[in-house]
Amino acid sequence: MTNDELREELFKLHEKLDRVLALLDVKAASAQKKASDRKAKQEKTLPLTEEEIKQQQERFHELFSRWMSGFEIEVQSELEAADADALRRFADANNLNITTKTPKARALQLIAARFREKRQLMHGLPSRRDADA
């Protein structure tokens, strides 16, 4: 190989190295953006205020009344349409055991269980023990 051929090969290697470094910069910037987005999402939400708790409890009673009136599907659809964070705050305001990491599906299950529990308490349905006695 002559000097000119070596220089040409070296030049090609430098070009490839520049492309690799540019790709790494793009990847690093993308990873940094994802990390900042994730961190922004993880910021703590403010605790519920007394007014917000009262509003959420009133909403619970309104939804429960509609649910008891036979509009179970509409109430369920309305709850499913809610944002996961809003649903968690709704559940938290109504004393359901929920955290910021609770999945939306689990929050929906807890709310439905509370509706059924409240219905049973209102109607005084017999439990299994009463039936066995």
Domain-by-domain residue ranges, the chain? 1-43, 50-123
**Average pLDDT by consecutive 10-residue portion of the chain (133 residues)?**
87 91 89 80 77 94 94 93 92 90 93 93 68 52
Q: What is the pTM of this model?
A: 0.60
Integer CA distances (angstroms), 18 to 14, 26, 89, in order: 6, 12, 50
Identify which of 24, 38, 93 has the alpha carbon closest to the alpha carbon of residue 61.
93
The predicted structure's pLDDT at residue 124: 72
Distance CA 64, CA 114 (A): 9
